[in-house]
Amino acid sequence: MIRNRIHVALLASPLLVVVACGQSQSPGGRDEPARSATASGETPTEATQVTVAPLRRVDLAETVTAPGETVALVAQKLRAPYSGSVTRLNAVVGQRVERGEILGTIVARDSEAALEGAEQMQADARTASERADAKRALELARRSLISSPLVATARGVITAVSTAEGDRVSDNQDILTIVASQSVQFQASVAQSDLARIRSGQKALVKLSGNEAPISGHVKGLLGAADVGTLTAPLRIDFDQAPRWIAPGLFGTAEIEIQSHDQVIAAPQAAVLRDDLNGTQRLALVSPQHQVHWVEVQTGLAEGDEVEILSPELTAGQAVIVSGQIGLPEGAPVQERP
């Protein structure tokens, strides 16, 4: 009997050892299952530091960009109303003028001749009688003087001056040229590959060299046939309201709005990972538990650093990883970089 009891005790001892190894003492003295990485089969991982940005609700537009320059549709000439002399001229090329501004004066040739004769008569007078006659002649010549002001016919820029102060001019001779601000438009050279997407009336922003603020306008239409050498076509863009300083010969770039989507959910371009093999796109969202959650997305318009997320339905403010997400598995713990 004694031998049998000892045998039973020995058989039971390994079981006691296993049970003891499978328990741990809690801080309160209660036994709890031990959290062993080996027993659970999981390897504890440290949170990966990543850069995070929120999804935003924005307005996006698809645009076509084309270089070009300003050109004048109409140039207005100021001409001499009759034969005479330019007695005053306040005009230089590049000068901005307002409609109705007086730029000079022209005196008729006959009046000028009468005035010159009276002045010479006064200079030659020797006696009191001669001086009196010369004075009356000079007063009459001055009262009878025929002169006309040179008046700007439009608000714009002087692009050419054909005469100088003191010059004699003939009837209808060109004095200067003014390009009206409203007659200046932008001629863009658009690539043939983009022509199919451009329509009359589309919005455009023109950025001219030396001017930070873009000028709004709209597409008017094509100006002619495409250039075989450059594979571009000339496109006319009219300004909605031409600024006072606008002039022909200014180079710049036009951004033509092809389509726009307002108040859409957008993610940074760096957050969208594309698989060239199967054509899928994915985002790495950060869950409230600070874990990676991968979602396959469909994208729409892209502008600058942002791309529209068409599906699935996401909300503004959701955190998305923009750097450090490559290679992270689903559910991996992450920590935002400081």
Taking each helix axis from N to C end, the angle separating 128-143 and 109-124, rounded to the nearest 10 degrees, works out to: 160
Is residue 156 within 8 Å of residue 181, measured between CB atoms? yes
Distance CA 119, CA 55 (A): 85
CATH of domain 81-172: 2.40.50.100
Domain boundaries along the sequence of the chain = 48-60+262-336, 64-72+183-261, 81-172
CATH 2.40.30.170 fits 64-72+183-261, yes or no: yes
To 10 degrees, the CA torsion angle through 220, 221, 227, 231?
90
Q: Please tell me the predicted confidence (pLDDT) of residue 19.
A: 29
Rounded to whole angstroms, the maximal C-alpha distance in the chain is 176
- Cis (ω within 30 of 0) for the bond into 329? no
Q: Cis ω on the peptide bond leading into residue 338 (within 30° of 0)? A: no
What pLDDT is attached to residue 320?
A: 97
Which of 145, 158, 36 has the alpha carbon at shortest distance from 94? 158
Which pLDDT score is estimated for 212?
78
List, in order, residues 6 or more apart from 25 with CB less than 8 Å away.
31, 32
Distance CA 186, CA 246 (A): 10
Residue type, 221: G
Cα gap 51→320, rounded to integer Å: 9
What is the predicted pLDDT for the residue at 26? 35
Instruction: Determine the Cα–Cα distance for residues 161 and 233; give it in Å rounded to an integer.
Output: 33
Q: Which CATH architecture has domain 48-60+262-336?
A: Beta Barrel (2.40)
Residue 35, pLDDT score:
36
Mean pLDDT by 10 residues, the chain (338 residues): 37 34 37 36 73 96 94 90 89 91 88 74 81 77 79 91 91 92 93 91 93 92 81 93 88 94 95 90 95 96 93 95 94 92
Q: How far is CA 109 from CA 140, 168, 316, in A?
A: 16, 9, 78
Strand partners, 188: 68, 235
pLDDT at site 128: 85
Tokens of 98: 């307002």
The DSSP output letter for 271 is G
Is residue 84 exposed (0-12), middle (13-18) or buried (19+ Cβ within 10 Å)?
buried
DSSP state of 83: S
